[in-house]
Amino acid sequence: MVLWAMFLAIVLFVSGSIILLTMVSAPTAEDKFKTWHSREEKVVEKQLDNLFYYDKNPKQIMRLYFILPPLFGAVGYIFTQSFIFVFVGAFLGLLIPNLILKIRNSRRRRKFNQQILDAIMILSSALKGGLSLLQSLEVLVEEMPAPMSQEIGLLVRENKMGVNLEECFRRLDKRMNLEELSLVINSILVARETGGDLTKVFSRLTMTIRDNRKLKDSIKTLTIQGRLQGLIMSLLPIVFVWWVVAHNPHHFDVMLQSEIGRTLLITAAVLQVVGMFLIRKFSSIKI
């Protein structure tokens, strides 16, 4: 009876301590959560503004941070019956909303980059027709599809609101952060400052960008064999381990049951990741 009384007293003491700590820390945790939620909502709102998704509510994206982690965690447990994959699934669910926005932003920037040559030709034609640079930009907004029309339309609206045209171009360069766009904007700013002929500048820019793209395509073609070899060599150990475990689940028990074996397996995994990173680095050439 004495032991049961002591055990009951310990349980009540521990439970009371946990409840007391929860009551004390709950307001602080709630404040931190509200601060994090407000900060993330502002980041999401800014990303949606950059994507021109004005009809999207940031709160809809924020809901995914609370829906996807438990959903992916439950799916991971259902398919694997392992609590490790619960945490893996929850972590992936937490990353997915931000990953979706980054992928859409990357696609939008890539599409914008593909429209640069057409935009230069329209600007050059408008300037040859006697229009000013600002009028040519307005023609560009009418003629080009999104995202070029959206970004240039924002540039024109900023200028009409009183922002200097040079500053508008710099803001566009900062928003898109594209090499070819930076080349075009710097050329326009230098020509405006020195009084150069923009039509001739655009003609040279068109040739430069086309030559640059041809060179990049040639490099991709010449390095495709090395990149494929790197991909195959990276996937080969993973496929080998999967095949061995599928046919003999206890094949690696000797390694897993000894300290040296576990160390070797961890070392092999780390070296595999390092090798994949180095192969990717060596097979990519920047110009």
Q: Tens digit of pLDDT for each residue in 27-70?
A: 565 566 567 667 776 777 777 777 777 666 777 777 777 788 78
Name residues whose C-beta falls within 8 Å of residue 256's C-beta, 6 or more positions apart in sequence: 262, 265
Whose CA is closest to 96, among 78, 116, 75?
75
Does a structural domain hold residue 213? no
Q: Structure tokens of 202?
A: 């655009």
* For range 219-236, the mean pLDDT: 78
Query: What is the band of 156 on the pLDDT scale with cuts at 50, 70, 90?
Result: very high
Better pLDDT: 125 or 24: 125
Same domain, 147 and 168: yes
* Residue 150 domain-assigned (yes or no): yes
Note the pLDDT of residue 16. 46
Q: Which of 62, 85, 112 is the last residue of a domain?
A: 112
- Kindly report, residue by residue over 240-254, the tens digit of the pLDDT: 888 888 888 887 777
Question: Do residues 10 and 56 both lie within one domain?
Answer: yes
Total domains in the fold of the chain: 3
Domain that holds residue 107: 2-112
Read off the pLDDT of residues 70-112 as tens digits, 9 standing for 90 and up: 887 787 777 767 677 777 777 787 888 888 888 888 999 999 9
Dump pLDDT digits (tens) for 183-216: 999 999 999 888 888 899 999 999 999 998 888 8
Res 272 pLDDT > 60: yes
Q: Is residue 95 part of a domain?
A: yes
Report the pLDDT value the prediction gives residue 188, as an integer from 0 to 100.
92
- Selected residue with higher pLDDT from 180 and 92: 180
User: Could you give the angle at the alpha carbon of 23 between the alpha carbons of 20 and 26, nearest 5°?
Assistant: 140
Q: Are 64 and 39 spatial neighbours (Cβ–Cβ below 8 Å)? A: no
The answer to whether residue 258 sits within a structural domain is yes
Q: Note the pLDDT of residue 31.
A: 65
Residues 7, 99: one domain?
A: yes
Q: Which domain-ending residue is among 112, 144, 173?
A: 112
So what's the pLDDT on residue 244? 83
Choose one of 94, 112, 130: the last residue of a domain: 112
Task: State pTM to two decimals.
Answer: 0.71
Which ranges constitute the DSSP H helices of the chain? 2-50, 58-80, 84-114, 116-128, 133-143, 148-160, 165-176, 179-194, 198-247, 253-256, 259-282
